[in-house]
Structure 1
Amino acid sequence: MADDCEGEGAVELGVDLLSLLDSTLSEEVIRTAWLAATRHRFDPADWGMTIRGWLRQLATLYPAHPGGKAHSYRPESSSTIDEEELCESVIREIHTSARELTHAMADSGADAPLPEHVPEALERIVRESDGELGFRLWLRVLKTYRVPVAKDQYDRLMVLDTRLRYPGPLVYDGLNVRWPQIDTTRRDATGDFGFSELTSWFTGHWHDHTATETVRQAAANDDTAQTPGSAAALLLQDTVRLLESPLSPDTITTLWLAASDRGFSIDRAGIDARSWLETITEVCRERLREVAPSYAQVMPPLRADFTGPVLQEIHDVTPLLVDRAVSPGWHEIPGPAAAEAMEQVVTRVDPDLGYRLLLRLLQVLALPLTEQQYARYRTLGEQLGYGEFHVSELELLVRQV
């Protein structure tokens, strides 16, 4: 572990060791937390050492980085949460899980430590050593004993994950979350989703995989806030609506080529538009059979009240697309033709999908936007329940006056 990241792991270990050794924590408290986190797989006492004695031996091998307590992935200058707030937040979560934790430990058959002492030991580490270290130890205990975590608590943990600027899956990997049933009306993803999100997978360098493999990756790309299988269910819903719609094959082809920036030219490959949609639906169903076999697709009502507002945005931007095209100079799709296809989606398929495809087109064409346009797009996205980063991707297109 100390060799991780070219030795950065040793630095991080040294910081944690110093936090514990410099604290007033008792032998019993540190040993209780250690044995819980490791499921009693290694106890220094079995080798004639006290826990502090063992930590001191490690500290001689991995001294703390001079002059700082902060971890490399969370420099104090960039953290968005102070120590007092962090400690109180972590302690609240320890209290929330204390009953479930003691039950899980008691049922595990482990002979030490006493389950009821573990939440108290972890809380002491948070208060008397380091809140962030206590948080990680508590997460490790939850994962070690597969303690169930409710979705609302998981969401709070992921807020802490963001505020602590943790890398990758430090919080969610291995956590036993009680996921709710898949619900395509619930908007948990922070960014794009469904058919519009799939088109972005085919923009740029995707050719290391086949087209079907790329769809498979997109269908499995659940946001960390989503019930596993949600990405596939949302993509399936959009695709089925397009497949069963009265749109012509040419219109569907135009939609795909425009939103994907002609990244996968189904027309040049001789692939019928509806055959391509059927391929997508089969991949989604395959994913759902794997991770959510009990899922039964139910089409929610269309958000018809958004038809007018979305059409207005398409009409407002269409004159700006007259001199723009997707894939200019090579089987290009004129901007107005793409806008017309998206207008048909709004009126004949689903205004929500039509709006998401419009946002994709604006990105593909890199169309300069005014502050007023961007503000309207954000408002409409908020009304539709989009995640915080969905519309904000357009911010780079706003003209600086």
Structure 2
Amino acid sequence: MARRREAYGAFYEGDFGLSALAARVHASAGPVDPQTVLGLAADVAGLGEGEGAVELGTDLRLLLDSAVPDEALRTVWRAATGGRFDPAGHGMDFRGWLRRFAEPYPARARERDSRYGSLFTPPVIDEADLREDVVTEIRASAAEGGAFAAPPFAGLPGALESIAMEADADLALRLLLRVLKVRRIAVGKEQYDRLMALDERLAYPGPLVYDDLAVRWPPVDPARRDAEGDFGLTALASRFAGPWHAHTPHEVLARAVADDETGQTPGSAAAVLLQDALRLLESPLPTTVIVTLWGAASERGYDIERAGADGREWLRTIAAACRGRLAEVAPDHRPGTLPVRTAHSGAVQDLLSELTPELARRTVSPHAHPLPGADVAEAVARVVAEVDPDLGLRLLVRLLAVLAVPLTEERYARFRALGERFGYGAWHVPEALELLVRND
């Protein structure tokens, strides 16, 4: 029976189906008997406003209709639940238990739901490629050492492969992830990235992979650009845009320094923000220029002067928050400013010069403490020339978004190309500028 693929992220916030049941069995307090498992299964079936019954019934039928040996199914189930429930301990063979267990959850197709149809498109999966990729991850985990297949789970890799090849690769992947989490087996960064790529291909809810998964992260390195979107000072400033905030400035700052993306080493967001703060602190820029830059990038959402601080004092506050975060999650990291990459300075200056007349016709926050666009453009130019063209480019991108400056296709393409040269993530420039491109 081939699984009918869904955009699972439309229905669930985390794991689902048989793997979600295994997680609940493992986490269950006290003894687990058949009745307990039935009660937990009802909880899993109720996920997604009752849609969970579809995936649970399909998972069970996939295993029952497969040629996977009973002992292989039992091995995977015991490993995925940490040995918390074994039907053999209650006088049942594994397939017999599955048949009885599956009775309330017959495999059925989901009724089309217009609430999600336009937002979430079911993925198109090449089943042979998926099986091959999942088997690769099973073997990569098995190659990590004895913890994965240690007694009493010596046949675990082969059993998971059998499920991937004979039943369903998606189900095998979710059970593999459950085993890794239950047995606290860490994966390397390269494998983690592959697992997250599978997550995207299968339209999983993101936490299904990364929640509780142990990862051997590489050391924090602010030179490594692995954020998909904006980062550093401009990302922090954008959090302050808007007239109303539910959190104090220091709470916003604390959230920003801890906001590592799912593919980043913990502490990465703090490390790159610290670089920006240190560059400006150590620069020859007057404090008034720093105040102008912050006011523009934050759309006056947090006026540091009215709050009683000058630009460098605010940068020192940012730097202290970054160091605090790094001391907590990456105590071996030794912060320091990296060499400035000047190779593309001229290209950044050219774009800024061309756009300065458009910027000069606009005003940041025109109705409350206005900042003339010409003053901000001059401040950005000084960053490009005297501090760091990378930071200058990010400030220019942010300023164009704040002031809604229209762009030609040609200029937008130049921004995209410069972003790639500086190592920006795939969504950094498009998120800020794509809607500004004129099609006429």
Q: Structure 1: how far apart are the matches of 2:159 and 2:217?
A: 28
AA aligned opposite 1:96: A
What percent identity do the matched residue pairs reach? 56
Q: Structure 2: how far apart are the matches of 1:392 and 1:179?
A: 28
Q: Residue 350 of structure 1: CA displacement?
A: 0.9
Farther off after superposition, 92-101 or 176-185:
92-101
Name 2:313's counterpart in structure 1: 275
Q: Structure 2: how far apart are the matches of 1:250 and 1:38?
A: 60
From 127, 142, 158, the equivalent of 2:165 is: 127
Unaligned runs of 5+ in 2: 1-43
Name 2:68's counterpart in structure 1: 25
Name 2:237's counterpart in structure 1: 199
Q: Structure 2: how far apart are the matches of 1:49 and 1:396?
A: 61
Q: Could you give the per-residue CA deviations for residues 294-322 of structure 1, whole angstroms, max 9, x where no partner exists?
A: 11013221011222111111111111122
Name 1:49's counterpart in structure 2: 92
1:51-200 aligned at under 5 Å gives the runs 51-66=94-109, 78-100=122-144, 102-106=146-150, 112=152, 114-115=153-154, 117-200=155-238
Farther off after superposition, 211-220 or 50-59:
50-59
AA aligned opposite 1:65: R
Q: Structure 2: how far apart are the matches of 1:159 and 1:293?
A: 29
Q: Structure 1: how far apart are the matches of 2:120 and 2:417?
A: 34
Q: Structure 2: how far apart are the matches of 1:10 and 1:136?
A: 17
TM, length-normalised to structure 1: 0.93
Given that 1:33 and 1:118 are in contact with CA atoms closer than 8 Å, whether structure 2 keeps it comes out as yes
Q: Secondary structure at the match of 1:160?
A: helix
Q: Structure 2: how far apart are the matches of 1:81 and 1:205?
A: 45
Q: Secondary structure at the match of 1:78?
A: coil
Q: Could you give the per-residue CA deviations for residues 260-294 of structure 1, whole angstroms, max 9, x where no partner exists?
A: 11111112323211111111111111111110111
Q: Structure 1: how far apart are the matches of 2:186 and 2:157?
A: 15
Q: Secondary structure at the match of 1:288?
A: helix
Q: Could you give the per-residue CA deviations for residues 125-162 of structure 1, whole angstroms, max 9, x where no partner exists?
A: 01111111111111111111122211111111111111
Q: Secondary structure at the match of 1:6?
A: coil
C-alpha spacing 1:206/1:291, structure 2 compared with 1 (3 Å): farther
Q: Structure 2: how far apart are the matches of 1:132 and 1:76?
A: 18
Q: Secondary structure at the match of 2:259?
A: coil
Farther off after superposition, 376-385 or 11-20:
11-20
AA aligned opposite 1:252: I
C-alpha spacing 1:42/1:170, structure 2 compared with 1 (3 Å): same
Given that 1:17 and 1:55 are in contact with CA atoms closer than 8 Å, whether structure 2 keeps it comes out as yes
Q: Structure 2: how far apart are the matches of 1:125 and 1:245?
A: 59
C-alpha spacing 1:77/1:241, structure 2 compared with 1 (3 Å): closer
Given that 1:196 and 1:357 are in contact with CA atoms closer than 8 Å, whether structure 2 keeps it comes out as yes
Name 1:239's counterpart in structure 2: 277
Given that 1:126 and 1:132 are in contact with CA atoms closer than 8 Å, whether structure 2 keeps it comes out as yes
Given that 1:326 and 1:332 are in contact with CA atoms closer than 8 Å, whether structure 2 keeps it comes out as yes
AA aligned opposite 1:251: V
Q: Structure 2: how far apart are the matches of 1:400 and 1:325?
A: 25
Q: Structure 1: how far apart are the matches of 2:247 and 2:323?
A: 20
Name 2:40's counterpart in structure 1: none
2:301 is the alignment partner of 1:257: no
C-alpha spacing 1:47/1:223, structure 2 compared with 1 (3 Å): same
Name 2:409's counterpart in structure 1: 371
1:207-222 aligned at under 5 Å gives the runs 207-222=245-260
Q: Residue 67 of structure 1: CA displacement?
A: 6.3
Q: Residue 57 of structure 1: CA displacement?
A: 2.5
Q: Secondary structure at the match of 2:49?
A: helix
Unaligned runs of 5+ in 1: none
Q: Residue 216 of structure 1: CA displacement?
A: 0.7
TM, length-normalised to structure 2: 0.85
C-alpha spacing 1:195/1:80, structure 2 compared with 1 (3 Å): farther
Q: Secondary structure at the match of 1:355?
A: helix
